[in-house]
Structure 1
């Protein structure tokens, strides 16, 4: 039996934050269908936690010390830094790099911010955190789902900071075509109304914030261009965020492939046997290999 509230939530996140949470009722949760992990209450001894204030709200960053380039891991919508709890130490050990994870505003342990979600604000938060940590060059972004919007906007604004990136089934400008936005506009409106009818929660408020002016915001994002001199690997899950929508899955795959072919220094990798949300736990070696490949191109 499918929990219809959960099914709605899954579609909303897929469309507005591209972080499809696959939750089912009347069945034991699996790695691909379990809820978003809760923030860790105690960080390992080798992880430093730093609190950074930007625009009068507090953000939480976790740092494993190491050398540059630094790996900055950013999870998808509805998720937080604990999404990387297994992969972050693996990458730190394998690469020797400084590894930074953090909670975007309204996620995990970071403060909630009222009003519409805007990628420019998320970029400002990340800039503030990296400045506080003294990491304003030799950054490699590892960005999942909606964090792809943050990564793309961040690198176009701060190209000298970023040496490379790995986009993990991430939102890319090429996906948000007029065809996609027109096709899904009625669904967005329907899901927005359904969310507003539910009790207000932190997660629901974050999802609704992303949906404000959705088409206009993403038409603007569609025009953003990734710098040609910044290497990027695009990892696409086999499942996509639209496992129950063949048309949505087609548009997603086409957008990812088009982005990967649209400039030099770009690679396209399909992670077989993975779902959108579970890629970091189902086949983390795909992400690790992509990170290693990017590091080899810049070292």
Structure 2
């Protein structure tokens, strides 16, 4: 379940990182060679962790993980907006994945983080992490990949199919970040074919249970590619994040935090590792308890009962669905959504009188409910 954690989690974190104290947090624009990249940094000690976002995302996509990871590891955490995304600028004369990594390296050096580093990456960010690691194999000490892009997925047929989709869909430069990433796709593939992930770097590769694809061949090849990557070297481990979609770290943030912490533990001494695992256990215990609490709140909630009713409708059990929606209006009489659902069930049963009655009540509770207003207009006109 998404977004189940509350700020009370942070009470268990070490005092030096409590609530990401402003004096330990930096937001800055750094010249990366003719354009500026935006960085958000939580200062700490030890090996820094650099986060690579997926295509279409800026650095804020990692926000819900940062405080827990900072509190448990005490490490410096670095997120940034790729060129053309978020608050970062773009040099349209120097785009492409290779220029992107070169700009990142320039900026990290200026920030003082040109030494050892750990990587965490999602989706297209897997290519960026791979290229950074291939250019800096002695500096990258570990990596955690979340449903990341790997070259073993992109055979010639799939590359052509992807390029055809891009040619049909990508027309405008109004969104320069996405435009240039899309238009650079073939160049990205060519660069990545020459930049395998270094075998000396420990990697935890996590693939989603529910892949970002609908085609059965794509699903099979995506999972097989990740399995092959994880089994190709003793330094690599693979796992499936069950019950999660493409954004694994949003669907199961506790899993993501624990994955990063476990890999980071490889980089510290025994004494610090023991302290780190103690803090990780406290976090996991609290996170699991909060998740159970959220689940209890969800079951028999307005949303849960409504979902039950619509499941019955999809199975053709219209009268049963109506009774469920009636229960929801009794339990949640202040919600315009439950009256809308009851009205919809009446409409499915052909009872226009009661459908209009409930649509009107839904509209009274929410005058912006245009779908209810449209149904009323069409069916009252018929009379």
Please report the TM-score for the alignment, with normalisation by the length of structure 1: 0.77
CA offsets per residue over residues 13-50 of structure 1, 9 Å max, x none? Answer: xxxxxxxxxxxxxxxxx959xxxxxxxxxx97242112
Distance in structure 2 (CA, Å) of the matches to 1:191 and 1:267: 33
CA offsets per residue over residues 132-182 of structure 1, 9 Å max, x none? Answer: 221122311001111111111111111122111111111122222234324
Give the 3-state SS of the residue equivalent to 2:47 in structure 1. Answer: strand
1:206 Cα offset (Å): 2.9
Per the alignment, residue 96 of structure 1 pairs with: 74
Aligned CA distance change for structure 1 residues 103 and 222 (closer, same or farther; 3 Å): same
Aligned CA distance change for structure 1 residues 190 and 230 (closer, same or farther; 3 Å): closer
Structure richer in helix, relative to its length: 2
Per the alignment, residue 233 of structure 2 pairs with: 263
**Residue 196 of structure 2 corresponds to residue 225 of structure 1:** yes
Aligned CA distance change for structure 1 residues 206 and 115 (closer, same or farther; 3 Å): farther
Please report the TM-score for the alignment, with normalisation by the length of structure 2: 0.61
- Rg comparison, structure with higher value: 2
Structure richer in strand, relative to its length: 1
Per the alignment, residue 251 of structure 2 pairs with: 282
RMSD: 2.2
Distance in structure 2 (CA, Å) of the matches to 1:113 and 1:238: 37
Name segments (4+ residues, structure 1) moved above 6 Å. none
Name stretches of at least 5 consecutive residues in structure 1 with no aligned partner.
1-29, 33-42
Aligned CA distance change for structure 1 residues 71 and 150 (closer, same or farther; 3 Å): same
Distance in structure 1 (CA, Å) of the matches to 2:83 and 2:154: 24
CA offsets per residue over residues 222-252 of structure 1, 9 Å max, x none? Answer: 342221211111011112221x222211121
Per the alignment, residue 70 of structure 1 pairs with: 48
**Residue 118 of structure 2 corresponds to residue 140 of structure 1:** yes
8 Å CA contact 2:32–2:104 kept in 1: the answer is no
1:211 Cα offset (Å): 3.0
Name stretches of at least 5 consecutive residues in structure 2 with no aligned partner.
4-19, 269-383
8 Å CA contact 2:48–2:78 kept in 1: the answer is yes
Using CA pairs below 8 Å that are at least 6 residues apart, which structure has the higher relative contact order? 1
Per the alignment, residue 325 of structure 2 pairs with: none
Distance in structure 2 (CA, Å) of the matches to 1:226 and 1:190: 27
Per the alignment, residue 28 of structure 2 pairs with: 50
**Residue 50 of structure 2 corresponds to residue 79 of structure 1:** no
8 Å CA contact 2:173–2:179 kept in 1: the answer is no
